Structure 1
Amino acid sequence: MKKLFLWLIPILLIIGSANEANARSKKKKGKAKTEQQTDSVQKKKKSVYDKLFKDKKKHTVNKGTITVHQYEDKIYLELPVELMGRDFLVNSAITTASDISLAGTKAAQSRYLIIDKTDSLILFRDPKYNVRLNEQDDNQEAAFALSRSNAIYKAFPIEGYTSDSTAVVFNATSYFSCSNKDVLNLSGRSYGGMLTIVSASPQSKTSFVDSADAFDNCISITQNCTAKLSISIMGFVSKEQPELTMSVQTTLALLSKENMNTREANPRVGTGYISYTDYRNEKRFKKGYYVTRRNITTQQPVVFYIDTLIQDSWVKAIQKSADEWNIIFEDLGIGKPIIIKPYEKDSTFRANNPMINTIAFLNNNNSEVTAYNITDLRTGEILSSKIGVPRDLAVSVRRNGVYQMAEIDPRFRTYYIADKVICENLTARMLKAFGLSLGLATNLAGSAAYSPEELRSPEFTQKYGITASVMDNVLYNYLAQPGDKEKGVALIVNKPGVCDAFTLKYLYAATSENESDTLKKWAMEHDGDPRYFYGKRSPAYATDPRCQNHDLGNDPIASLDAQIAHVKYVVKNSPAWFHDDNIPNDYRELFPDFVIIELINKTLSPVSSYIGGIYINEANEKSNVPSYQPVSADMQRKVVQKILSTFYDLSWLDSNKDFLRLGGVNPDMSTWIYNNGYPMMSLMFRLMRMGLSVEKSTKSYTQEAYLNDIEKQLFKETLNGKPLSAPMIAQLSVYISSLKGMCPTLKAIDKAISTRAASIALNEQTNHKLQELGLLTTLAPISATEKQSGMEPMTSVNFYSGTDIEAICYDKLKSARRYLIQARSLASNDIERGKCDYLIAMIDRVI
């Protein structure tokens, strides 16, 4: 047995050695296999760039919190996994455009989204809408958390992970395309005058990504986009489809986890706003609003970085504007939060970072100061503002200032506007831009608060300025008269008004513990005071004459007289201002055209809004002011008579032949205005919008009385035994066509007789000319995107269907026919008789 054991020992040693060798071999092979697998995984993770970006010359990387890869015409985002489930903001703005009215405006409504992922997809989720819950009810909050989910509205395949698996890469090109409504949506936007954009169709062949940048907490994609526009005129879609080329900057920004404290908005106070749904009352819910404002603290002022390309005198003008706002902040005990700094020389500073406040020099063909905000849609916090100062600001100063100020201020009687004048203008414009950046909204009633006497007082205008709110669209004190400048009357917007100071208090002043009650008290403390009235846009059939562009003062008659006097001065004297051969010919040629703009857009349009106008105030049970009050019949009649008498004789436009020659070989200008239907087109437009005012008045100015007043003016010559003049013939043509167009029965008859329906619209050639000049704002429709509720402007009156005035129009057509027969008998030649016959035939076709 012992021998057998001794004999087995070598065999066991051999077997053991072999097993150990096999084990070592297997271990070695296993280790090698594991290392090989690890290398393979690593290579796979690293190869996502190799797979997507094969040609390194075409690949550009911009690293930030989110890394942007630009490869050929594609945009890839590298998004950290740790950001999944976080809130993001999408903001898109038009930085430059071939149509300067759109430059510096939003390209689409801002969007709030949540980015999430699955194993294979990146998900863009539509977040739960803003809600306000009962803070004392934990069950309500828990119930809402369980019942609401974030809908998926975009999904992108994951292309791969970074080598350390901390970020995913996906192709986001389709999202940043201008065909995406989050990036470009101009539907409902004004396109100048009476034109409205119905839709914008990007042209892929002429659109391309210009740059892709990454910053701390945001990325920015800028692209050049050409879009074909579909436009409408008074609701009718035009066959003409103009093309618009623009630079669109789209920002995707990571929002903070910590939200700013919200503050309730009030429709009586002119602030920006975001909406939420209020569920604090369990029995019913309602829509609510938060103000938009800055998160201002002593550690967090509002720092604006100003472009070093802006000349020193302009920088001082901008600083002066900021200082005026800081004065109000100091009165509120907040210090001086607006700080102006030059662009930093640090290599890490980039002015195109969308999340910093900048005042940039616009080296393009724009001539207006532009401004827009990027706002947190959850709380209303204004995250940043972008203000643009145009290189050609002097163009705007010449265009707007000379027609209103040349009679008062000799500095405007030249093509070469002095830098000091431009700086005064820049300070005025920046007051509104800074106001917007602080959360104030456009207040169209600010300029209607003061009387002509107050606006001609040196003491008053130096103390209060020329408007109760710089957020209105007015710049110059055109109610001033020659000699007022020397007395010290303020001629331009120079400081925030009393309404602006009040709005700033509402936005930023400290409140008591019960903030809601304090804010409601503040909103009502100036009830009935026109200086604190917040004026929004109003619909054409319920027009509030206080809320108009280009108006000034509370007396429309004095306003009209002042503007006509200024224009007459320009017609008489302007040719002597432009003898220098260095003055561009296009400026000389367009100079008379802008006189027409002054007459129609800035004179006729705001004054005619009193006809059928209604003063609209926010309803409140504690208010002593009625929620609506029609303009008095006496005021409406005075305005009508003033317009008719002012436009009855425009021969003064033709009195200076040198003025006419500025625009070419023009024999006259008055005939052009009459032949294009002014002022009758504006007056008949108001006729269609008088119904609500008539119904709500105890002593109304009726449509019949209105047409009687117009008729007396149109046939004034006939009633005095004289032949109808050419201007009256032109006005009567518009008058008769309008009356027929307002009668559905007569309109149908006319259409059946003619292959072309009667219409008050002008011919295509004339429309084109007027659209170029921007002359059709008197007929501007309400934007399709505007809404009615709370803070938002009113665009409709529920259950109001308009007034049937067919019988009145029919009677006035018959009356006009009788007068025309009389006028025919007074005609001095066959041509005049033929014109009367034509007008009579227009009526006979339908009656």
Structure 2
Amino acid sequence: MREKAFLHSVKLLCLLILLLFIPVTVLSQKKKKKETETEVVKDSTDSKKGKKYNDLVKKGTLKKGLFNIIQVKTDVYFEIQDSLFKREFLIVNKLSQVPFQINEAGLNKGMNYENKIISFYKDTIAKKVWVKTYVPKVSSPKEDAITASVIDNFSESVIEVFDIETKNNDSSAVVIKVNKIFDGKQKSFNDVLSNTGIGGSVKSDLSYIESLKTFPKNIVVKSQLTTSFSDGTSSLPITLGVTTNIILLDKTPMKPRFSDNRIGFFSEKHWYFTDAQQAMLEKELITRWRLEPKKEDEERYLKGELVEPKKPIVYYIDPSTPKQWRKYIIDGVLDWQAAFERAGFKNAIIAKEPTEKDLDFDVDDVRYSVITYAASPKSNAMGPSVVDPRSGEIIEADIIWWHNVMTSLQSWMRIQTGPIDPKARGNVFSEEHMGEAIRFVSSHEVGHTFGLKHNMGASFAYDVESLRSKEFTAKMGGTAPSIMDYARYNYVAQPEDNVTVITPKIGEYDKYAIEWGYRWYGPNENETARLNEAIAKHQNDPIYFYGEQGSDIDPRSQSEDLGNDAVKASEYGLKNLKRVVDNILNWSYDKDQSYYQTGKLYIGAIGQWQTYNGHVLTNIGGVYLNPTVHGDNKQSYVPVPAAMQKRAVDYLVKNVITIPQWLFFNDVLDKTNPLKDSPFGPYEYTPYTMSRALQYDVMYSLFSDDRLLRMTENELYQRNKTNEKVFTVNDLFQKLHQSVFAGTIQNKSLSILERMTQKNYVDVLIVSTNKLFEKTDVKKTIQIEETLQMPHLCSLNEAHMARNINNSFLKRVTEVTSDKKGELSKVLQLLRTKRSTGDQSTQNHYRDLIQRIDKALNNTTF
């Protein structure tokens, strides 16, 4: 028993010992197993990561560049290096293909429609890549306290997010799938429909990525994006070819140069905050290329030697440009070499056709500045640029050259120079003659891509009589000291003057402006002082005057005008225009052809007449707006002299109030009416309807509230300041009244045209007066002024930059109302006295006008 009990005790003890050890062993084994599993999982993760990246590359294609691009069938991936996160990129979107419907609307290949700065941010916790954008127009010193507030009040906005698909093999880059930003599913990188004004949304199932290229500093992605367009009766499919460029910007932006309103450069607004300020500082950075001497040439440059720039400006000619015009376009670019030599650089500009050496050449690639040729019925050309908004640096230039620009050139030359140049008379010009015109347009548009705005005030520098001098025009090179003016061709010169230099050329102002914008200054030079000195040196010379585009106040800064006296220049222009009208049938003759070309030439002549009217009209109530600074002793506002305003009114009385029958009623009408092209075919204007509408347009503008208010302001200010003679609103009405109602005063029977003029006069006063009290809408007449006037180039929006004098506040309580009603009362009194004079048609006319004026003035007696 005892032995049994002992054995039993031993067994129990062994069992207890076993029980004590088993948990330790099991736990130990479990722990080892867990540790092993963890290692396996870790290895597996690395393996899967590497496997996934390698599989992507193996299955697809890998293109190395700024971002490596991996393409697996239709899936597109960007491989973004860690070093590129938080860097700034510029997105540039362009049209690369357009269908018929869009072409006809004026949107064409090469047009840049959307730019913005973005940055990529890696989020390792959420395993995503965020894309943010901001407006880079605010700066503050890093060390200033206000900088923290600047950061918070001008922060970035998130525009896109991507999942991190995998990493590359050494984990130095992440891979994201990017289809959605290029195939139309998302608008974050490319909102083509909104930014071109088409509207609607992209049909992603009918859209796709077409091609991708990556280079060391940029990426080019081309897509085909489809939407639909309704013409009111049916829905039409529209597929746009779009190209998105993603450009890596320099870490340190170019040193900016600040604008000056005495010289015309495009600019980018910028706000500056500092602790020391009492108010935020707003400046504008001019847009210009980064043109610098090479390091080894800096000393020679500063001594005044011409040196080649570190990086020249290169323009490529679109291979689709007709061969016969390429030489002239290139010559127009290279004509600017002399201007850059003034700034100290030789061979600063290169213009060439792409060759086999340019293996990667692509019209839509921002590495290439291209003069893009657009097959389109649009008659225009323009020269916008892609700009780094942080500094104003021009990165790339896009000149769009519409094929039909030649129709505008031919119209200008034919009507403005046909009387003095036999080469400019036919329906088709010689290749050489058209080529020289193309060269002029090339120079003008390239000037815009250097940052130069239109200088509509340049032509005012030349005396009108000088434009009739063969010697002067040959010496000065054309019609104005700036090719950036719209000083087209010399319509002032008469046949007997024998002037031969009639085409605008790069002038003295252009060279001065390029020097001001592009001269490089060393680190020890006071750049601001030097730039101010350059302007001050020429501030009293009209050749260097800059006149903003878009002003209808300053008669010096007008489009299409010549010389310093609009009345005299227009009188010379009319003499030549009469010669054109006398020869319309001969110059447009083309055996067995319709009179289409005849009608087009005829309406062009009428448009030129209307252009002259506008030039003269701006002088009435006009003000010379001088860009001034403290210390220059110049007046900012100078009313146009009273004598000039009187001459301007006399011109309009003679050539508009009295309808020129040589223009509107002549032998051409036996064959055709004036013709204007429209989407539905040529549109015919009858002479009575056209002359009535155009006369009305001039009268309405002449009696515009703003013009009369400027005359009132001038009368008040000038008479309080000096005893100088002032041309008043009463003077204006007296001159017009005596002319418009001359036949009535003399008890004559009125002709149809005289009755027409009186009706226009009275209606303009009634409509414009009622408009002050919001009883009627703005005049509703045939809007044909823009249709008829000579065509314009450059769709660059500069009008918002022009100075504007705000005198529109509470017009109904100004003298304008009293003056207009007073004139209506005067007319009413005259008509009541004369209502029984003249023939039956005249008397009917008087009764009609009396009733109209009675109603307008709320009179109850008749």
TM-score (norm 2): 0.79
Correspondence for 2:16? none
Correspondence for 1:499? 509
Q: Does 1:480 align with 2:493?
A: yes
Contact 2:267 2:285 in 1 (8 A): yes
Correspondence for 1:403? 415
Cα distance change on mapping 1:25 and 1:662 into 2, 3 Å: same
Contact 2:317 2:353 in 1 (8 A): yes
Correspondence for 2:199? 201
Which of the residues 693, 696, 710 maps onto 2:714? 696
Q: Counterpart of 1:554 in 2: which secondary structure?
A: coil
Q: Counterpart of 2:362 in 1: which secondary structure?
A: coil
Correspondence for 2:736? 710
Correspondence for 1:352? 364
Correspondence for 2:559? 549
Correspondence for 1:340? 351
Correspondence for 1:826? 837
CA distance in 2: counterparts of 1:794 and 1:184, whole angstroms: 33
CA distance in 2: counterparts of 1:650 and 1:60, whole angstroms: 73
Residue 68 of structure 1 and its aligned partner are, at CA, apart by 7.3
Number of corresponding residues: 773
Correspondence for 2:590? 580
Correspondence for 1:274? 268
Consecutive unaligned residues in structure 1, runs of 5 or more: 1-14, 51-55, 188-198, 231-241, 752-756
Q: Give 2:130's aligned amino acid.
A: L
Residue 324 of structure 1 and its aligned partner are, at CA, apart by 2.4
Q: Does 1:285 align with 2:275?
A: no
Q: Counterpart of 1:742 in 2: which secondary structure?
A: helix
CA distance in 2: counterparts of 1:21 and 1:668, whole angstroms: 105
Q: Counterpart of 2:315 in 1: which secondary structure?
A: strand
Correspondence for 1:669? 687
Q: Counterpart of 2:335 in 1: which secondary structure?
A: helix
Contact 2:491 2:573 in 1 (8 A): yes
Which of the residues 168, 179, 197 maps onto 2:176? 168
Stretch of structure 1 that moved more, 662-671 or 689-698: 662-671
Correspondence for 1:154? 159
Residue 627 of structure 1 and its aligned partner are, at CA, apart by 0.8
Higher-Rg structure is 2
Q: Counterpart of 2:285 in 1: which secondary structure?
A: strand
CA distance in 2: counterparts of 1:532 and 1:336, whole angstroms: 25
Residue 425 of structure 1 and its aligned partner are, at CA, apart by 0.7
CA deviation map 1:128-179 (0-9, x unaligned)? 6434556xx9446865786566321423343734665533224225989789
Cα distance change on mapping 1:435 and 1:605 into 2, 3 Å: same
Correspondence for 1:646? 655
Cα distance change on mapping 1:304 and 1:730 into 2, 3 Å: same
Contact 1:539 1:796 in 2 (8 A): no
Residue 659 of structure 1 and its aligned partner are, at CA, apart by 5.2
Residue 404 of structure 1 and its aligned partner are, at CA, apart by 0.9
CA deviation map 1:353-377 (0-9, x unaligned)? 1231112332333333332110111
Residue 506 of structure 1 and its aligned partner are, at CA, apart by 0.6
Cα distance change on mapping 1:208 and 1:707 into 2, 3 Å: farther
Contact 2:89 2:249 in 1 (8 A): yes
Q: Give 1:808's aligned amino acid.
A: D
Residue 718 of structure 1 and its aligned partner are, at CA, apart by 1.5
CA deviation map 1:464-506 (0-9, x unaligned)? 222121111232111111143xx45411112x11111111111
Q: Counterpart of 1:359 in 2: which secondary structure?
A: strand
Cα distance change on mapping 1:633 and 1:580 into 2, 3 Å: same
Stretch of structure 1 that moved more, 700-709 or 286-295: 700-709
Q: Does 1:328 align with 2:354?
A: no
Matches within 5 A, 1:314-325: 314-325=325-336
Q: Give 2:622's aligned amino acid.
A: G
Contact 2:138 2:270 in 1 (8 A): yes
CA distance in 2: counterparts of 1:253 and 1:668, whole angstroms: 55
Matches within 5 A, 1:734-745: 734-744=760-770
Cα distance change on mapping 1:31 and 1:146 into 2, 3 Å: closer
Q: Counterpart of 2:756 in 1: which secondary structure?
A: helix
Contact 2:420 2:495 in 1 (8 A): yes
CA distance in 2: counterparts of 1:597 and 1:742, whole angstroms: 25
Q: Give 2:663's aligned amino acid.
A: L
CA deviation map 1:346-401 (0-9, x unaligned)? 43222321231112332333333332110111111111112233434432222222
Correspondence for 1:262? 256
Matches within 5 A, 1:209-288: 213-216=212-215, 217-221=218-222, 250-279=244-273, 281-288=276-283
Correspondence for 1:294? 289
CA distance in 1: counterparts of 2:758 and 2:144, whole angstroms: 71
Q: Give 2:283's aligned amino acid.
A: G
CA distance in 2: counterparts of 1:565 and 1:334, whole angstroms: 45
Contact 1:94 1:246 in 2 (8 A): yes
Correspondence for 1:391? 403
Cα distance change on mapping 1:158 and 1:646 into 2, 3 Å: same
Correspondence for 2:130? 123
TM-score (norm 1): 0.80
CA deviation map 1:381-434 (0-9, x unaligned)? 111112233434432222222111111111111111111111111111111122
Cα distance change on mapping 1:307 and 1:760 into 2, 3 Å: closer
Higher relative contact order (CA 8 A, sep 6+): 1
Q: Counterpart of 1:125 in 2: which secondary structure?
A: strand
Cα distance change on mapping 1:810 and 1:47 into 2, 3 Å: farther
Q: Counterpart of 1:265 in 2: which secondary structure?
A: coil
Matches within 5 A, 1:363-512: 363-465=375-477, 466-484=479-497, 487-494=498-505, 496-511=506-521
CA distance in 1: counterparts of 2:360 and 2:655, whole angstroms: 61
Residue 79 of structure 1 and its aligned partner are, at CA, apart by 4.9
CA distance in 1: counterparts of 2:200 and 2:72, whole angstroms: 21
RMSD: 4.3
Which of the residues 531, 547, 551 maps onto 1:535? 547
Residue 563 of structure 1 and its aligned partner are, at CA, apart by 2.5
CA distance in 2: counterparts of 1:702 and 1:227, whole angstroms: 57
Q: Counterpart of 1:826 in 2: which secondary structure?
A: coil
CA distance in 2: counterparts of 1:815 and 1:687, whole angstroms: 19
Cα distance change on mapping 1:537 and 1:121 into 2, 3 Å: farther
Correspondence for 2:118? 113
Matches within 5 A, 1:122-141: 122-127=129-134, 129-131=136-138, 133=140, 138-139=143-144
Cα distance change on mapping 1:260 and 1:607 into 2, 3 Å: same
CA distance in 1: counterparts of 2:191 and 2:748, whole angstroms: 63
Q: Give 1:669's aligned amino acid.
A: P
CA distance in 1: counterparts of 2:772 and 2:447, whole angstroms: 51
Residue 212 of structure 1 and its aligned partner are, at CA, apart by 5.3
Q: Give 1:468's aligned amino acid.
A: P
Correspondence for 1:86? 87
Cα distance change on mapping 1:94 and 1:670 into 2, 3 Å: farther
Cα distance change on mapping 1:775 and 1:513 into 2, 3 Å: closer
Which of the residues 600, 615, 619 maps onto 1:610? 619
Q: Give 1:166's aligned amino acid.
A: V
Contact 1:84 1:115 in 2 (8 A): yes
Correspondence for 2:608? 598
Contact 1:614 1:693 in 2 (8 A): no
CA distance in 1: counterparts of 2:419 and 2:375, whole angstroms: 32
Cα distance change on mapping 1:521 and 1:656 into 2, 3 Å: same
Cα distance change on mapping 1:560 and 1:225 into 2, 3 Å: farther
CA deviation map 1:28-80 (0-9, x unaligned)? 98887666555544565578899xxxxx9xx9998753477999999986655
Residue 521 of structure 1 and its aligned partner are, at CA, apart by 1.7
CA distance in 2: counterparts of 1:737 and 1:245, whole angstroms: 49
Q: Give 1:470's aligned amino acid.
A: I
